[in-house]
Amino acid sequence: MMHFADSLTFSGRKVVAAWAALPFPALSGSSLPDILSAHQQDVPWKLLSSWKEQKVSCCFAQSVVLRGICQEESTSCPGQPRSPLHSCESPEQVLQQFFHTQFPGAFSTFHVLQQPCDTRPPFPQFFSPLLTRRGFLQDKAQGYSSGGVESIPVLAALQSSPGLHWLLSGLCRELRAPNVRRWSSFFMAGVEQDDFQEALEELKTLSQCYETGFGASEDEADSD
């Protein structure tokens, strides 16, 4: 994972954020262009990493993986294309077109796997009764418990984006707040004060690598 993250980072950046749609919000019988066309205003996934900024409007680099949308469900129907997405010839091209619109200029890679994510026990059974056994959405609840969901389509991504500036600078502020000199056990564990301060400076420098210059950053008020 560390080497994979390195492939998405440059210009001094070292951290990526994880996103996932689990399950991918796909209606039963819908094509991939139909599904993504319903999310033109926002990407259909949730942040897994811990920071308060939930919406990302741009990114530097990303790797996106879609699982469980088979070929016949992901290509457009014959006839007049209803959108640029419907004119794409493959699921990879559909993803490329969609994310190029969402994040223009970002370095991106896309992978489509037909095999869905297996959700049979002991996978946690927390699914909505609106899901079919294959994890697709339906208008009516199924006649079986959520434990009957055997697999789900998943959209996931690792992303290097400006939002990581808030995550890293916030972590830096939290680490600076307490007076570590009062924690004898902290330094008994082998941590040196100078090493600790150096690590904080490196963390602050790392957070600055994710700034884009648009808008004021929250850590400007830091009094170092």
Do β-strands 46-47 and 154-160 pair in parallel, antiparallel, or remain unpaired? unpaired
Domain-wise residue ranges, the chain: 1-160, 165-209
Strongest mean pLDDT among 70-74, 91-95, 212-216: 91-95
- Give which of 170, 154, 155, 162 is closest to 50, Cα–Cα: 170
pLDDT digits over 105-133, tens only?
899 999 999 999 999 989 988 888 888 88
Q: Which residues, other chains included, contact 12 with Cβ-Cβ below 8 Å and sequence gap of 6+? A: 205, 206, 209
Q: What is the dihedral of CA 160, 161, 163, 166, to 10 degrees?
A: 60
3-state secondary structure 9-42: CCCCCCCCEEEEECCCCCECCCCHHHHHHCCCCC
Is-contact 129 149, C-beta < 8 A? no
Measured at the CA of 216, the angle between CA 215 and CA 220, to 5 degrees, comes to 160
Please report which confidence band the pLDDT of residue 80 belongs to, taking 50, 70 and 90 as the band edges: very low
State the residue for tokens 């990114």: 59
> Average pLDDT in the 138-161 region?
81
Task: Indicate if the pLDDT at residue 149 is higher than 50.
Answer: yes
Task: Indicate if the pLDDT at residue 70 is higher than 50.
Answer: yes
